[in-house]
Amino acid sequence: MIQIVWQSEERNVKSKLSELTIFEFEFIAEQFNKPGPNLPKWMAVAEYFTGFPEEEILEWPQSLFQKLVDNMFAAGDLGEPLPFIEFNGERLTASITLTMRAISKIEKIFAAAEPDSVSRSLAVVFGSELDEEQEALLVAHIKTMPTVGLIPHFKYTVKDYFDYLTQSNPIKVDEPNVETV
């Protein structure tokens, strides 16, 4: 946490990645995935995390805004990937190795570039057996969970997917390359 003091109001602001929820993580990612200059993105992040309205943030001295920018998203210990999560009183175990069905689903989630790609992908990791309705509830639940233990799945479990995509050679069907006369 960092402390932001503005007009006698003190706000403790989350700064490390490990302090964020998945929703907050996705909120930040959504801002910075947008095209265009960074200042409006930082304004949106500052507004959301400090609770001060934009008009007031615009009045801040540059040093205060810089303090926020310099300290936010500091790396924290995100721990090891959680082997399971609790959902609706049940224990949902993470798939250690994803099936191709799950990988295909994650690929489509990322290709769609929706703001909730992270929570939806994590729902695939933990809820591969769930129906659509339950999966949507799981996504909502995951958004409220801390990043600790969840984001590491992108380094381990979901990494299978990234490794697979980057390492696999396209099948070159042995089509003879000939010119016609």
Partner 1 sequence: MNLTWRQYNELSSLKLEFFDSSIDFQCEELAIALDVDSEDVKNLNSTEFAEKRTVLLKYLQSQPKAEESISINGMTLYKRPFNLLTLGEWIDLDYYIQHKDWLAIIVLIYRDKVDGELKADEWEEWGNYVEKRKALLIDTPFDHTRTSLHEILKWRTNFIESNGELFNRGVEEGDEPVEEDISVSEKHAQLLEERNNKFAWESLIMDLCQDDITKFNEVVSLPLLLVFNMLAMKKTLNK
Footprint on this chain of partner 1 (rule: CB under 8 A)? 97-101, 103-104, 107-108, 111, 160-161, 164-165, 168-169, 171-176, 178, 180-181
Cβ burial 37-60 (10 Å sphere, 16+ → b, else e): eeeebbebbbeebbebeeeebeeb
Q: How far is the CB of 111 from partner 1 (least distance, A)?
A: 7
Q: Return the number of the residue (120 or 141) whose C-beta is nearest partner 1.
A: 120
Burial of 122 (0-12, 13-18, 19+ CB in 10 A): buried
Q: How far is the CB of 179 from partner 1 (least distance, A)?
A: 8
Radius of gyration of the chain (CA): 21
Q: How far is the CB of 86 from partner 1 (least distance, A)?
A: 25
Q: Return the number of the residue (47 or 160) whose C-beta is nearest partner 1.
A: 160
Planar angle of CA 20, 153, 136, nearest 5 degrees: 75
Q: Return the number of the residue (3 or 169) whose C-beta is nearest partner 1.
A: 169
Q: How far is the CB of 175 from partner 1 (least distance, A)?
A: 6
Q: How far is the CB of 121 from partner 1 (least distance, A)?
A: 14
The region that residue 16 occupies, defined by phi over 0 for left and psi between -120 and 50 for alpha, beta otherwise, is beta
Q: Return the number of the residue (24 or 116) whose C-beta is nearest partner 1.
A: 116
Task: Name the residue among 28, 31, 52, 27 with its Cα closest to residue 40.
Answer: 31
Q: Return the number of the residue (19 or 160) whose C-beta is nearest partner 1.
A: 160
